[in-house]
Amino acid sequence: MNYVFFAVFAGILALLYSFWKTNWISKQDPGTEKMQKIGSFIAQGAMAFLKAEYKVLVVFVISIAILLSISGANSKDSHPLIALSFIIGALSSALAGFLGMRVATKANYRTTNAAKNSLNLALKVAFTGGSVMGLSVVGLGIFGLSVLFIIYENFFGFSYENSVIVLNVLSGFSLGASSIALFARVGGGIYTKAADVGADLVGKVEAGIPEDHPLNPATIADNVGDNVGDVAGMGADLFESYVGSIVGTMVIGSAFIPSLQNDGFGGLSAVILPMILAGIGIIASILGTFSVRVKEGGNPQAALNTGQVVAGVLMIVFSYFAIKFLLPESWTASSLISEETITYTANGVFYATITGLIVGILIGFITEYYTGSGKPPVAQIAKQSTTGAATNIIAGLGVGMQSTAIPVTLISAAIIFAYYFAGLYGIAISALGMLVNTGIQLAVDAYGPISDNAGGIAEMSEQPPEVRSRTDKLDAVGNTTAAIGKGFAIASAALTALALFSAFMKQANVKVINISDPNVIAGLFFGAMIPFLFSSFAIGAVGRAAMDMINEVRRQFNEIPELKAALEVLKKHQGNSSNLKGKDKEIFEAAEGKAEYAKCVEISTKAAIREMVIPGLLAIIIPLLVGFIFGPNSLGGLLAGVTATGVLLAIFQSNAGGAWDNAKKMFEGGVEVEGKIYKKGSDAHKAAVVGDTVGDPLKDTSGPSLNILIKLMSVVSLVIAPLIK
């Protein structure tokens, strides 16, 4: 038990690190007044959204907490304390989102300013901002989990029977994290894409204004969206994956308690191992961040890679020793899915951990192949843009669908290998293996939107071209890391969901869920449909919110005379405002600050809050209904169906969207088809913009939300498992 304090310590360490780095960022030069003003617009918008969102969620959290305490009081395998875990999980998730976003909205304009001096300083500011997010997430996650675990173990008293209760109560933490995550992802995703699509369609396409131009009323909302969607949303997503995979592995590990009585930890070694590994991951991640340094003229991508490789190698080495130290050489226990008894080994557990890590990395590379600029699939989409938007869309759909094949085959292989190495515990710990280094992975992920914002601020504050070119370089690296991060997020979600699924079966005391049982197959079909329905809600929400945004931007362009006049000037000069003179310049300057950004921010906020409710509730209510009405077998079928199509649709949507995005970007350099070169502004490029816009809600709203959906439904099932068995 004392070793769990190592996890507590690691959690505190991560939070101290975040605190230290936040201070460092605050001390950086905030730049010109204009930068600060734009930065504060974005920060205000982001905080306004969080405030509005958390207001709704408070009601939700309290309601669920009451339900949980009532049901906990009425089950011999649960306890009202589960409500406490749930609230703390929800608060931790919200706090992680808040901390990450606060620092991101401080780091963005400081990155712009740093880019005035050098690429390296800009990278440092942006990455440090990301690392605060990363380490806040893992710090809060492991600190909350390990402290609660210690408290509950003491409260209930240690025994095998009580471990079911302890872990059920602890799973409330995961439920809290997951529910907040779903709302954050869906709400953030709707917010960012409504603003983005609106800004692009009216601003860029209709009015011909460059991206992020201050004349565009939706431009601040667009930048706020990057924060609430890509920073807070991604953070909440990984927070819950991280927590979910730890809790899932602990639950399955608790089945070993009787067999591990002689392990020197009272049989708990397999239960505490996940927390210890998570603590190791924090130390590896922090050491990794220290190695992210670019020498003058160096490559930011290489610097980020170095950080991840260092953290990865350290994690492998440390976890080998931790596993060998905690677990006995070998032990025998039930297979959990049949009456069979199998032999487990410490080496096997280590191999299973590594399996997850390797598969995660491979899927990241595959994702990069299918979505990377210039790679054959993306080049094919760019080529098919020359025959119009329809063939561009058809090509993108084909690429997205095809891109599911290898990742899913790898996930299937991971399942089989991890099980071969260490049974169901192996599958669970392989998910954890992917997520142990979340600290640095998330730092790299969150670095992307910060750089993206920095670029936007450079444009809006009219910085000289070399500043924008530096932030563009940072942003380009961010796109690649984002693709790999998404691949990782999906793969880990799949394995985490399976870990939670196995944990659910253990807690519900179900050994066999027979596919040929009609209740199971009906559940499977119904479950497989949920991700489609859920996606349609998310996509529809973006469509509706974007229409509102489009109408608002059009209204401002029509009704605000200064904007109208400036747009005429811009049209006269073909969208180029850099060399205006005389009266034109006067008109243009008169328009400054006339766009009503706040109205657009409000539209996105309201739409996101309004539209996130139904899909969020869907994810929670459906497993409850199916579980209580049709029982654990149908619920098991449902989870299998949700997970299978959820993973597939997530990969399909993320990759199709990413591929369309980069196919569009390829036109910046020119796309050659049969000797003819198509440039930016050509019809082929316009067709590619259509694809990019279609991909937006797929890759940034519905796709990533599915990751959370599958885990959330599994966690809900895990929590209610003792009640329906």
Nearer to a copy of itself, 205 or 621 (CB): 205
Which of 652, 662, 663, 666 touches a copy of itself (CB under 8 A)? 652
Closest CA to 393 of 407, 403, 380, 404: 380
Task: Give residue 345's region: left, alpha or beta (phi > 0; psi -120 to 50).
Answer: beta
CB of 660 to a copy of itself, least distance (A): 10
- Between residue 374 and residue 403, which ones bind a copy of itself under the rule CB under 8 A? 384, 387-391, 393-395, 397-402
Nearer to a copy of itself, 232 or 706 (CB): 706
- Between residue 603 and residue 642, which ones bind a copy of itself under the rule CB under 8 A? 636-637, 640-641
Nearer to a copy of itself, 14 or 528 (CB): 528
Which one of 139-147, 184-192, 689-697, 717-725 is the stretch in contact with a copy of itself (CB under 8 A)? 689-697
Asked whether 82 and 721 are in contact (CB, 8 A), the reply is no
> Token pair of 630, please?
């049709």
The position carrying tokens 């600290």 is 439
Asked whether 690 and 395 are in contact (CB, 8 A), the reply is no
CB of 649 to a copy of itself, least distance (A): 9
Nearer to a copy of itself, 328 or 540 (CB): 540
CB of 333 to a copy of itself, least distance (A): 16
Which of 57, 450, 500, 542 touches a copy of itself (CB under 8 A)? 542
Which of 167, 275, 494, 688 touches a copy of itself (CB under 8 A)? 494
CB of 508 to a copy of itself, least distance (A): 11
Which of 346, 648, 709, 724 touches a copy of itself (CB under 8 A)? 648
Rg (CA), the chain: 25
Closest CA to 151 of 81, 243, 207: 81
**What gap in Å lies between CA 155 and CA 367, rounded to an integer?**
46
> Token pair of 418, please?
């991890």
Beta strand 330-334 pairing with 341-345: antiparallel
CB of 249 to a copy of itself, least distance (A): 16
- Between residue 413 and residue 452, which ones bind a copy of itself under the rule CB under 8 A? 413, 415-416, 418-419, 424, 427
Asked whether 203 and 553 are in contact (CB, 8 A), the reply is yes
What is the distance, to the nearest Å, from the Cα of residue 619 to the centroid of all Cα atoms in its chain?
17
Give me the phi and psi of 32, to 5 degrees please: -65, 165
- Between residue 506 and residue 525, which ones bind a copy of itself under the rule CB under 8 A? 511-525
CB of 610 to a copy of itself, least distance (A): 17
Nearer to a copy of itself, 15 or 720 (CB): 720
Nearer to a copy of itself, 20 or 525 (CB): 525
- Between residue 297 and residue 336, which ones bind a copy of itself under the rule CB under 8 A? 336
CB of 495 to a copy of itself, least distance (A): 11
Residue 493 CB burial class (10 angstroms; 0-12, 13-18, ≥19): buried
Nearer to a copy of itself, 357 or 408 (CB): 408
Nearer to a copy of itself, 589 or 683 (CB): 683
- Between residue 34 and residue 63, which ones bind a copy of itself under the rule CB under 8 A? none
Which of 498, 500, 624, 708 touches a copy of itself (CB under 8 A)? 498
Q: Is the dihedral of CA 643, 645, 648, 649 positive or negative?
A: negative
By CB under 8 A, how many residues form the interface with a copy of itself?
Answer: 84
CB of 645 to a copy of itself, least distance (A): 6
Give me the phi and psi of 673, to 5 degrees please: -130, 120
CB of 616 to a copy of itself, least distance (A): 17
Nearer to a copy of itself, 246 or 428 (CB): 428
Which one of 61-69, 132-140, 213-221, 646-654 is the stretch in contact with a copy of itself (CB under 8 A)? 646-654
CB of 94 to a copy of itself, least distance (A): 29
What are the residues whose beta carbons fall under 8 Å from the beta carbon of 632, sequence distance 6 or more?
504, 505, 508, 510, 513, 721, 724, 725
CB of 369 to a copy of itself, least distance (A): 15
Q: Rule CB under 8 A: is residue 349 a binding residue for a copy of itself? A: no
Which of 543, 669, 670, 681 touches a copy of itself (CB under 8 A)? 543
HSE-CB for 690 with a 13 A CA cutoff: 19
Residue 668 CB burial class (10 angstroms; 0-12, 13-18, ≥19): exposed
- Between residue 73 and residue 132, which ones bind a copy of itself under the rule CB under 8 A? none
User: Under DSSP, is residue 403 helix (H, G, I), strand (E, B) or coil?
Assistant: coil
Write the DSSP string, 523-565: HHHHHHHHHHHHHHHHHHHHHHHHHHHHHHHHHHHHH-HHHHH
CB of 535 to a copy of itself, least distance (A): 5
Which of 199, 550, 553, 570 touches a copy of itself (CB under 8 A)? 550
Asked whether 608 and 194 are in contact (CB, 8 A), the reply is yes
CB of 548 to a copy of itself, least distance (A): 11
Which one of 163-171, 457-465, 469-477, 500-508 is the stretch in contact with a copy of itself (CB under 8 A)? 500-508
Beta strand 671-673 pairing with 341-345: unpaired
Nearer to a copy of itself, 196 or 212 (CB): 196
Q: Rule CB under 8 A: is residue 218 a binding residue for a copy of itself? A: no
- Between residue 169 and residue 198, which ones bind a copy of itself under the rule CB under 8 A? 197
Residue 676 CB burial class (10 angstroms; 0-12, 13-18, ≥19): exposed
- Between residue 568 and residue 607, which ones bind a copy of itself under the rule CB under 8 A? none
First to last CA, the chain: 30
Nearer to a copy of itself, 204 or 468 (CB): 204
CB of 473 to a copy of itself, least distance (A): 28
Instruction: Count Cβ neighbours within 10 Å for each residue of 14-32 and write b for 16 or more, e otherwise.
Output: bbebbeebbeebeebebbb
Nearer to a copy of itself, 113 or 496 (CB): 496
Q: Rule CB under 8 A: is residue 71 a binding residue for a copy of itself? A: no
CB of 169 to a copy of itself, least distance (A): 24
Q: Rule CB under 8 A: is residue 338 a binding residue for a copy of itself? A: yes
**What gap in Å lies between CA 433 and CA 108, rounded to an integer?**
31
One-letter amino acid for residue 656 of the chain: A
Which of 1, 58, 73, 205 touches a copy of itself (CB under 8 A)? 205
Q: Mind spelling out the 3-state secondary structure of 217-285?
A: CCHHHHHHHHHHHHHHHHHHHHHHHHHHHHHHHHHHHHHHCCCCCCCCCCCCHHHHHHHHHHHHHHHHH
